[in-house]
Chain A
Amino acid sequence: MATTATVGNKSLWAGGVAPLKASYGKLMMWFFLLSDAFTFSGLLIAYAFIRWSAPAYKGNPDDFVFSTEYWPIPEKVYDAFPGVHGQEWPLVFVGLMTFILILSSVTMVLAVEAGQRMDKKGVVKWMLWTIIGGIAFLSCQAWEWAHFISGSGVATIGDVFLNGRWVEDYEIMGAGLSFNQYGPPAFAALFFFITGFHGFHVFSGVVINIITFFNAANGMYEKRGHYEMIEKVGLYWHFVDLVWVFVFTFFYLI
């Protein structure tokens, strides 16, 4: 537009133009993500606060046993892999999950890039892959949760809830919101709440991705003349991915 040009050569901030070269929708997405980042920071700070006020395990990692007396070593908790029994594969599964999520970010980048070229087929294809990545991540998380909940041992809360077998007087294995076999109760509560909150973000992302996927496939954005919606959704998706890196670091690495 001509007005933009006349002002543009003087100053971007002179009014009558979008100074950051971003539409209002994209700006809003940025500010939303900024505020959401603060929500996650609040939660992770809560994690750190509780984590470091609980006693740490002091002995030799090889002699580690689970106890509510001290915070567990993450490698000892997250060492299971679907289909693998009796072996310890510390952090392999969560590594796989992380890899899947990062891969889905890559496919999202490709979708955005295809959108900029107005390549409808490309957008549809890469959005589909992103959705599959998101669903795969969520399924992994479901397995991880299920395993964490039912725990390892003779009687598990899975027995109580799923098999209806109520055994009196045994030690409950596995984890719930107020108790767990691995360490202080707060350990499980924080795990469920924070990974759950993140998982909910991923879930919303998948839903939004599916909607934009159908809109793209139906040619809605093509008619509109641009694929900006994909860019906005992409921002959200990358953000969720980035947050996972922090969640992962807090829960699994330190």
Chain B
Amino acid sequence: MATATHIDAHAHDDHDHEHHETFITKYIFSLDHKTIAKQFLITGIIWAIIGAGFSAIFRLQLGFPEADLSWLRPLLGKWIQPEGSLDPQFYLALVTMHGTIMVFFVLTAGLSGTFSNFLIPLQIGARDMASGFMNMLSYWFFFLSSVIMFISLFLETGPASGGWVVYPPLSALPQAMDGSGLGMTLWLVAIVFFIVSSLLGGINYITTIINLRTKGMTFSRLPLTIWSFFLTAVIGVLSFPVLFAAALLLVMDRSFGTSFYLSEIYIGGEALPNVGGSPILYQHLFWFLGHPEVYIVLLPALGITSEIIATNSRKPIFGYKAMIISMLGITVLSFVVWAHHMFVSGLSPFLGSIFMFLTLIIAIPSAVKVFNYLTTLWRGNIVFTPAMLFSIGLVSVFISGGITGIFLGNSAIDIQLHDTYFVVAHFHLVMGAASSFGLLAGVYHWFPKMFGRMLDRKLGYIHFWFTFIGIYAVFFPMHYIGIAGFPRRYYSFTNFDAFSGFTDLNAFISVAAILTFFGQFIFLFNFFYSIFRGKKAPLNPWKSNTLEWTTPRVAGHGNWPGEIPTVYRWPYDYSKPGAEEDFIPQTVPFSETMDSNLPHENDMIAIEKEESASEIVVDGAKGH
């Protein structure tokens, strides 16, 4: 039995972590990747409630501009004007904070932070991350950044209000608007800490995947989740530093009198002394991060989906290699398309067509992935777990949102559509909804491993249908509104006659958005209730092949009580013809599955034998 006799390369760091753990080292300053993952998850959930709550408030204003919102006064205080409407400045602050929170705190930290941390060591067969200490630091920098951003919500002048992209000059001149004052400063400070956190995390993920894979876990046997986390981390390590540079220059402009982004500006008829800079420079630097960032948000969700769809279709993932290659393609391309966010910034039309070309190429790997999901589902023995439903939902919204991306990628069409609700619809479907679905799917799927208990299935189904229908009800109509010319980030449209025909549609969107927001409380209840009261989970509830299901129900620090298992095959041997069961875990050697082996797999048996033989010799020598 090779699994039992093999020698564990990491056995030396297997000392008893269990014995001297206090509450603080176990739950707060923990070095265990599983605890850190849960910390990221819970913090992300709290942010998600705040961020989604903001959107509910500003949708109220957009859908019912005439409504009396004084009942919100206990919560918002002076931000509700005396006549009962929302303060316009605060509306901008809400939109800005909604975007910032969702993109960075929920879908970057909450998604990557949770699942990269949780799954990388478990699925590659490692005891922990390469550096548990840096991993802990990564969480605490994120926490610090969260605290600063949270404090900025309560400022007299309000939080940052220049949009989540914080373009100068609006963000660079404190006198430009209330939200460009202290709120903006805190925003920048928080983002700098956030970048530090994500670099610490990303460097750790990459190194762990390269160095700590268990025996037999080659790159071509890695689950697609790990591939996606790996590439996400690579993107993050290369793009966040550029945002760092951009943010530092912005800090200089704001507080130290330089003019990197400022030139020839008049405020109240008076000229400012700043000359020589360019706000377009900021846009280039920002979108060099900004576009890769959308893939940082999306790729982990796609990886999670690959895993869940293959498991629950009881079929090998279709096109494993194609999946990897398309993710690699997306990674590379994501760095060379940023200027499609700047088609109408005065960019030279010639450059515009180059970026258009590069942008449209991304549709190819994206489509490859979509087709692979569909062909994996095709004629599978589909098990509709809540996780599976969310994964299928992800594929659906990814298609709907991806198609509008192709519209926007055309520089000529973008002149009409830029900064309208069409863009809002595009990225909420393809990024917001798709990644949130990935996050939720991941939670439903790995909850048993995280907490040792099951989530309630029925509540999961209700939650899914509520969310799925809600998302389309909110974002589908936005396409029409966008084509009709509604600009995004406007406080009110009542002054424009041209828009009066869409009042009902706007109200409809708002109702749908608020209902969908409340629908999420079903999930929240399910989540927190099941942590303590859920049904105890079996060891391998989804009959899955990957390594995490070979750990005990509640794994301690170090993950496997004995030796780390050895891997003999890829993770997608589902419904293999000739096999006894419809899944063969990665830890089962080919020599034990003679009936289902393919010809080239029979050849592997010799290698397996050779290896375990040499191990037994070593075992003898060591006197086991």
Contact = CB atoms under 8 A, between A and B. Distances in A.
Interface stretch (A100-108, A152-160, A181-189, A239-247): A181-189
Contacts of B124: 15
A14 B215 contact: yes
B252 A42 contact: no
A10 B621 CA distance: 22
A15 B245 contact: no
| Residue of A6, A19, A53, A177 with most chain B CB atoms under a 10 A cut-off | A6
Contact of A177 (B206, B221, B256, B614): B256
Contacts of A31: 202-203, 206-207, 237
Interface in A21-40: 22-25, 27-28, 31-32, 34-40
B238 A3 contact: no
Nearest to B6: A3
B342 interface: no
Nearest to B564: A16
A57 to B, nearest CB: 15
Contacts of A49: 278, 281, 284
Given A16-B216, A35-B203, A50 B210 contact: no
B239 A7 contact: no
Given A1-B9, A13-B219, A43-B245, A28 B260 contact: no
Interface bin, chain A: 35 or more
B611 A7 contact: yes
Interface centre among B202, B218, B245, B618 (most CB of A within 10 A): B245
A34 B237 contact: yes
Contacts of B501: none
A50 B284 contact: no
A17 B252 CA distance: 46
Interface stretch (B269-277, B299-307, B345-353): B269-277
A18 interface: yes
Contact of A15 (B131, B215, B277): B215
A54 interface: yes
Contacts of A177: 252, 256-258
A24 B6 CA distance: 23
Nearest to A14: B218
Contact of A41 (B204, B242, B284, B567): B242
Interface string B214-233: 11111101000000000000
B615 interface: yes
Contacts of B6: 3
Contacts of B206: 27, 31
Contacts of A53: 278
Nearest to B256: A177
Interface residues of B, number: 62
A251 B26 CA distance: 51
Interface string B602-624: 00000100010011001001000
The residue in B215, B276, B284, B618 that gathers the most chain A C-beta atoms within 10 A of its C-beta is B276
B218 A11 contact: yes
A25 B216 CA distance: 23
Nearest to A186: B276
A197 B260 CA distance: 15
Contacts of B244: 39, 42
Contacts of B288: 42
A84 interface: no
B242 A42 contact: yes
B285 A46 contact: yes
Contact of B207 (A2, A3, A24, A40): A24
B211 interface: yes
25 contacts: A1-B7, A11-B218, A14-B215, A16-B566, A18-B211, A23-B211, A27-B130, A28-B134, A28-B207, A32-B199, A34-B237, A35-B199, A35-B240, A38-B239, A38-B241, A42-B285, A43-B245, A46-B285, A49-B278, A54-B276, A178-B257, A178-B274, A184-B276, A185-B258, A193-B248
Interface of B: 6-9, 124-125, 130-131, 134, 199, 202-204, 206-208, 210-219, 221, 237-242, 244-246, 248-249, 252, 256-260, 273-278, 281, 284-285, 288, 566-567, 607, 611, 614-615, 618, 621
Given A3-B8, A38-B239, A46-B285, 10 more contacts: A2-B614, A2-B621, A15-B125, A15-B216, A15-B218, A27-B210, A35-B199, A43-B245, A45-B285, A46-B281
What 10 pairs between A and B have smallest CB-CB spacing? Answer: A42-B245, A16-B215, A15-B217, A24-B130, A178-B257, A39-B241, A15-B213, A189-B258, A186-B276, A2-B618
